[in-house]
Amino acid sequence: MFDIGLEAYAIHGAVEREGRGHTIMAQGRDERGGFPVAVRHFANEPLALRRPAIAAGHVGGKAHPKTCACAAGLPDTHSQLMFSAWAVKSGDRLALIDSGTGGHPIYGQGNGRLSQSMVAAGLDPKAVKTILLTHLHGDHVYGLTNHETNAQVFPDAEIVVPAAELKFWTSPGVESKDFGPTRKGLAQRIQATVATWKNVRPFEGEPELLPGVHTVQAPGHSPGHVTYLIASGGKQLLVSSDVSVLALQISTNPDWQQAIDQDPQMAVETRKRIFDRVVADKLIISGTHWLMPNVGTLAKDGNGYVFAPEA
């Protein structure tokens, strides 16, 4: 029996130490009985974003976002997001899914404490052999580099990236496009770092990149965005990354178009497809930016979904 595990450390910028956070540890064996699997999740405390989270004119659904936010006990003046990364131990191989914000100032004071949080959880950052990237937005890849020097933080790890995503961010003229304030200079940085590194391996399709870890294509938030499905012992966890960015209590309105999605309509279609699969296959799901508790299951509710946190 595999219980998907969560080990989350609050890493608030106001203090120079890891917070106590929520800690649940789990491990088990894959469906073939071949290896132990453990999943740990690292997250910072909520960050308030005061720009529109829902694209104007594209609310849809049964209720206005402000109404849903108030009903869920959330602020109706701004959005609150977490920033998360996952450590996956498959057999004797330690891997990361995404690398976090890397201390970039655009994401707020005190972010980028992934390595410290890993150490606090008993994991050696130097032991990371594989990093699976869901996409190349800064809050998922800036943790790969030293913010001041661009030197690699994980030089001995293989960095696995969706080929479509890498192609987009290295295409001619992309650096001149406006993708919003948090992505200013992102294309230039990718072209100067990830695109030049010899330890980067692009992939296409939906391969099994590690034993028990499969890719699921999920474009829309970005052109090559993917999610990762981790299977073991008859249970499966979908690390859905940015399929839905908003706090889960309100993002279960799947028709809302998120302003930070690069292709909002495609993102809506992807969100419905992914959420329907979570329901049909009885998957456990979590997202990069969902507020705690952020690991659980989905059930269909009319045209929307209801999230139930794992006990």
- In order, the DSSP letters of 138-177 are HHHHGGGB-TTT--BSSTTSEEEEEHHHHHHHTSTTGGGS
pTM over 0.75: yes
Question: CA 156 to CA 154: how far, in whole Å?
Answer: 6
> Percentage of the chain surpassing pLDDT 90?
48
H helix intervals, 156-283: 163-169, 186-192, 248-251, 264-280
User: What is the identity of the amino acid at 231?
Assistant: A
pLDDT of residue 56: 41
- pLDDT band for position 292 (cuts 50, 70, 90): confident
Average pLDDT over residues 104-133: 88
pLDDT of residue 79: 64
Q: Which residues contact 149 (CB under 8 A, 6 or more apart)?
A: none
What value does the mean pLDDT of the chain take? 79
- pLDDT band for position 225 (cuts 50, 70, 90): very high
Burial 58-72, CB ≥16 within 10 A → b, else e: ebeeeeebeebbeee
Strand 27-29 to strand 36-43: parallel, antiparallel, or no bridges (unpaired)?
antiparallel
Tell me how far the alpha carbon of residue 47 is from its chain's centroid: 15
Which range has the worst mean pLDDT, 111-120, 173-182, 249-258? Answer: 249-258
Q: Which residues contact 101 (CB under 8 A, 6 or more apart)?
A: 44, 83, 107, 111, 112, 138, 139, 142, 143
Cβ neighbour number for residue 233 with a 10 Å cutoff: 18
Task: Look at phi and psi of residue 176 and say left if phi exceeds 0, alpha if psi is from -120 to 50, else beta.
Answer: alpha
DSSP 257: P
- pLDDT band for position 301 (cuts 50, 70, 90): confident
Whether the Cβ atoms of residue 199 and residue 174 lie closer than 8 Å to each other: no
Tell me how far the alpha carbon of residue 256 is from its chain's centroid: 19
Residue 29 predicted with pLDDT over 60: no
For the chain, domains (ranges, CATH) are: 6-309 (3.60.15.10)
User: What is the identity of the amino acid at 154?
Assistant: F
Task: Look at phi and psi of residue 146 and say left if phi exceeds 0, alpha if psi is from -120 to 50, else beta.
Answer: beta
Going by C-alpha positions, the residue among 186, 33, 19, 6 that lies closest to residue 87 is 6
Whether the Cβ atoms of residue 211 and residue 90 lie closer than 8 Å to each other: yes
Tokens of 213: 């870890």
